[in-house]
Amino acid sequence: MATSTVRQKSDKRKRKQGAPVPEKNTGFFLGIVKVAGGTMLGTAMLASSVVAGGLVGLAVSFRNLPDVRVLRNYVPTETSYIYDIKGKLLDSLHGEANREVVKLDDISPELKRAVLAIEDSHFYMHNGINPTSVGRAMLVNWRNRAVVEGGSTITMQLVKNLFLSRDRTISRKLAEAVLAIRVEQIFAKDQVLEMYLNNIYWGHNSYGAETAAQSYFNKSAADLNLPEAAMMAGLIQAPEDYSPFINYEETKRRQKLVLARMQDLGWITAEEEAAARQAPLLIGQPTAWRSSNLPYITEAVVGELQERFGQDAVLQGGIRVQTTVDYNFQKMAEASVAAAHSRLRNRGLYADQVALVAVDSRTHFVKAMVGGVSYQESQFNRAIQSLRQPGSAFKPFVYYAAFASGEYTPNSSIDDAPVRYRDGSAYYEPQNYGGSFSGPVSLQAALTSSLNVPAVKLGQQVGLDKVIEICRTLGIKNPLDPVVSLPLGSIGVTPMEMAGSFATFASNGWHSDPTIIVRVTDSSGNVLLDNTPKPRQVLDPWATATLTGVLQGVISGGTGTAANIGRPAAGKTGTTTSERDVWFVGYVPQLATAVWIGNDNYRPLGTGVTGGGYAAPIWRDFMQEALKNEPVEYFPSPSKFPRP
């Protein structure tokens, strides 16, 4: 599922549909005991004591309540995060609950004190319920002319959120009390508080203190100061009603109540209260549904994660994903594609799309992936989803097969002359671009000039099944049929497949499966997926070095001279029938890059449009920028390896 489909519901709609927004804590009996006239305090205290004394007996009536021991293994739904290779956050993935679980020690002491002050100041003194807190809460609320403190303990709120419905009934409240006692018989106070702070709803799809702190203040919960902590504690009763994103004045009013309560308890001084009240709040922005920083990357990552781990793990499992891309490098690639597309339009070429994929040939890590000119205008990722004919950019697979057979060298001769093949029920006569023939030519000259007839003949001589086998070895997984025209790229491939395959040529035959993910861990740091490169030699070194030598000639004096970057580089142009797709796929020892230009509706680009004339310059401009801080490296000579 795409990330954009995950981000669905607004907070307002969410509250209408029953999201767990903490209800205003009016206390255990504030709303149950109603006395007309006179004083309510004594009645409430008496009722509280009666209930407290009878809870043991009532527990027998609640045998069907949930077993709180399940909390020992309880793992709340947690937001997953995607980072670039240097640790920059790219995207967050979640369903309804945007949550990051943290340890209690990783939450600001100020926030813990503020929450306890306003929600349950006797938390560390009671055993799950606190009958006297009902009367105290009523008195505090009466003095402040507002609901400042509730009678429900933090433990009761926790079990309500985790186990019970949100109905305001006596039976629900009694069940809440019984479960609270059970919880505190099993868990230490700090464990209860940690669960509470990680589970409560803080508004705008933010669950737990860490996510809320990031949303409201763009900082970790560990770094919250007193004014910020008091503000967040004040939100718990009705997060959206008191939200600074909605009503800043109401937010400040709630903050003052929390600070006043903290001073009444002696937890802060009058001076600290005054200073915190006057301090401005630097409010951030909601983080729950913000868009990805690199959508082409993160969409591809999400697809792979869901295939490996399932949707629930991705949206609720709190996984941490380190990608192979560097944020700045990817942004540079996107800018290169956008600028190139603009130049194409200025040249009169009406191509809808340009796609680019760059793969590190040493690791087969994807370094850049641009699926189109503008993600905002089209979310279709042509780098990995679009099958397009590679044209002559496919020919290196055929020539490698020839060299690897041990029967051919670059100087071997082949006749560039008319030929006709039986292809099913019809005949196929390959033609060169321009319609002419050159007679006997060397394999090097045939590939450098991108002659079609020699490529078709060579494919027949080495065997198309062998060519297909090599393509499979290099990671091309899409259907490949042994048709006569296969050497001319009459099949569909993706830019990712082409870049990954040519990366193996660049490494002189060492191959790893291209990946956009370095590592996946759970929120505790346990490794779920480790894509540390495990390269293996899959191609013959002599044949690969020989092919690279010939492809260097494509750039130095063949159809790809517009790709010259002033350092050793090899590559191949590609142009399909009717000019529907044009390519340049090339490499240096460190990096392989595929560039594709075309229209989504397969409309021809125009007469005379070639990969060498249009795609090669885009490749050149990108590679010059990509390699500006990289040292010049050289390809190995075929003479270093034994010939097969």
Side chain identity at residue 583, one-letter code: W
Task: Output the six-digit token pair for 84.
Answer: 């670039």
Nearest partner of 577 among 613, 604, 617, judged by Cα: 604
Strand partners, 582: 575, 597
Examine the residue annotation and report whether 240 is marked as an active-site residue of this protein: no
Output b/e per residue, 618-643; b: 16+ Cβ within 10 A.
Answer: bbbbbbeebbeeeeeeebeebeebee
Q: Alpha-carbon distance 344 to 340, whole Å?
A: 6
Q: Alpha-carbon distance 198 to 452, whole Å?
A: 65
Cβ distance 133 to 123 under 8 Å?
no
CA angle 380, 382, 383 (to 5 degrees): 130
* Beta strands, E only, 242-386: 320-323, 353-360, 366-370
Task: Output the six-digit token pair for 471.
Answer: 């393509």
Q: Which of 78, 100, 110, 119 is catalytic?
A: 119
Q: How far is CA 203 from CA 12, 69, 211, 505, 586, in A?
A: 10, 29, 10, 53, 51
What is the full DSSP assignment across 34-66? Answer: --SSS-SHHHHHHHHHHHHHHHHHHHHTTTTS-
* Beta strands, E only, 148-272: 206-207
Nearest partner of 454 among 468, 439, 469, judged by Cα: 439
Strand partners, 537: 510
Examine the residue annotation and report whether 250 is marked as an active-site residue of this protein: no
Output b/e per residue, 420-451; b: 16+ Cβ within 10 A.
Answer: eeeeeeeeeebebeeeebeeebbbbbbbbbbb
446: left (phi over 0), alpha (psi -120 to 50) or beta: alpha
Count of positions (residues) in the chain: 644
Q: Which of 292, 386, 392, 523 is catalytic?
A: 392
- The catalytic site residues sit at 119, 392
